[in-house]
Amino acid sequence: QVQLVESGGGLVQAGGSLRLSCAASGSIFSVITMGWYRQAPGKQRELVALATSFGSTNYADSVKGRFTISRDNAKITVYLQMNSLKPEDTAVYYCNLRVMTRVGGPADDYWGQGTQVTVSS
């Protein structure tokens, strides 16, 4: 019973910026990781950015220096600030939440509904 709601996608010109948000709700004991993935037509889903509960982050090489992932632990919300956008960034972006719903239980993955990001030339 965990739901993720994404927002912030849209159409932007190359070089522009967008800020994606993903808010989680439901029964969550602890958050292990929060991240962003994207999938373009005809391509495999790929990891864009990942944030751990300890503050460490990981980025795909293609977005390093342009994208920044951050999280608000109190609101269980993850953000993706995207700057200097390129047409190759066009994709559906999905947030991912890896959580533990019970102490000592397994970790489960939940996904947002996806938000379209389109970067025009």
Give the pLDDT of residue 61: 98
Report the candidate in 32, 31, 21, 91 with the shortest Cα–Cα distance to residue 62: 91
Say if residues 95 and 84 touch (Cβ distance below 8 Å). Answer: no
In the predicted structure, residue 6 carries a pLDDT above the cut 90: yes
User: What is the spatial distance between Cα 89 and Cα 59, in angstroms, rounded to a whole number?
Assistant: 14
pLDDT tens digit sequence for 23-73: 999 988 899 999 999 999 999 999 999 998 888 999 999 999 999 999 987
Beta-carbon-side half-sphere exposure of residue 107 (alpha carbons within 13 Å): 10
Q: What is the DSSP letter of 89?
A: G
Quickly count: other Cβ atoms within 10 Å of residue 8's Cβ: 16
What is the H or E stretch that residue 72 is in? strand 67-72
Beta bridge partners of 59: 49
User: What is the spatial distance between Cα 82 and Cα 98, in angstroms, rounded to a whole number?
Assistant: 22
Give the pLDDT of residue 27: 87
Report the candidate in 50, 37, 19 with the shortest Cα–Cα distance to residue 93: 37
